[in-house]
Amino acid sequence: MIKLLVVDDSPLMRRLLVDIFTEAGGFEVAVARSGAEALDLLDEVAPDVITLDIHMPGMDGLACLDQIMVTRPCPVVMVSALTAEGADETLEAIELGAVDFIAKPRGALSLEIDSVVPALVEKVRSAAGARISRTTRLRERVRARAAGAAEPKPAASRRTAPLAAPLPPEGLVLVGCSTGGPPALDALLGNLPEDFPWPILVAQHMPASFTGPLARRLDKLCALSVQEVTGTTVLAPGNVYIGRGDADLVVTRRAGALAAAATPSSGEHFWHPSVDRLVASAMKSVAPERLVGVLMTGMGNDGAGAMTELKALGGMTLAESADSAVIWGMPGALVAAGGATIVAPLDRLAAELLACFAR
């Protein structure tokens, strides 16, 4: 049985969540009406996973999360509003140590909750097995970088050594991630030089209201320029392109130049932006040997099929190893399929990516 602690000041939300997880089976559910009560219950309940509302009177969800990660680290899934403010708060929560988040339905809660139940249960089940010790270290690294940044862009001391070998004239790096992805992206992108010679495209599973704030945060934390793709965008070296949430990110050509486009999400794929669709579209526009795929933490298997094909056609693929991934679903599926050229922990992925160009 998974011990779940539901923390929410709303009696209706508490009742709905208790009913959902009781009916799902495999959960032993306890509730707390406030952040303070949640902290008091940590030792008594000993939860395997917590759902935590961000907006609560008194101690809010962020303050409560901070205390949880200090006093009794535990996988936490935040309950967040689908707004710009909610996105910023949720990303802050992920930096503090939250594993994932649940987006509250937009309409009447009791009427709309059914639409999110399958994803909600899957996320909380997956979060219960997340690797908290590694997540906590990542949060500390993000905080240290943020506290030490005096300029809008990082200082030269953050740059890695120049690439050692000439590169093909045109190529792309394709990155996929889901649960645990934002801090993993910081760890990967934050260790690449600002003159990185190929564009980097990122499919991070998130709602549309979250990917813009994610891009802005990453832009402040790494030497590369980071932007969200909201329309057709010509690709340039030294730039990172984050796929817009609730849509798919695809590679096209515009007047002969490589471009990225946000396109309506495909019903053939469950998660969006779809990593599989990103990689498949890139292989139609760029020779496989000029593509590098990187698959990091996340539940499910998005990206494993397309990156396995990419490797078979001569491309290079990197998978985050089990000892660092918050959830080793997506990269684990790639490894299991024999589609990973290199398997490495998160703190080595940037170096392995740079080494691909010297081989």
Residues with catalytic roles: 178, 205, 302
Bridge partners of residue 328, in order along the sequence: 298
Bridge partners of residue 293, in order along the sequence: 174, 317
Residues 21, 50 contacting (CB under 8 angstroms): no
* Both tokens assigned to 239: 């730039």
Kindly state the greatest CA–CA separation across the chain: 63
CA 111 to chain CA centroid, Å, is: 29
The vertex-327 CA angle with 326 and 332, nearest 5°, equals 125
The vertex-188 CA angle with 184 and 191, nearest 5°, equals 140
* Both tokens assigned to 127: 């979060």
Bin 26: left if φ > 0, else alpha if -120 < ψ < 50, else beta: left
Bin 99: left if φ > 0, else alpha if -120 < ψ < 50, else beta: alpha
Which helix (H) or strand (E) is 78 found in, with range? strand 76-80
User: In the structure, how many helices (H) and strands (E) does the chain have?
Assistant: 13, 15
Which helix (H) or strand (E) is 248 found in, with range? strand 247-254
Distances (CA, A) of 304 to 289, 307, 354: 18, 5, 22
The vertex-341 CA angle with 345 and 303, nearest 5°, equals 80
Q: In what order do the strands lie in the sheet with 27-32?
A: 27-32, 2-7, 49-53, 76-80, 100-103
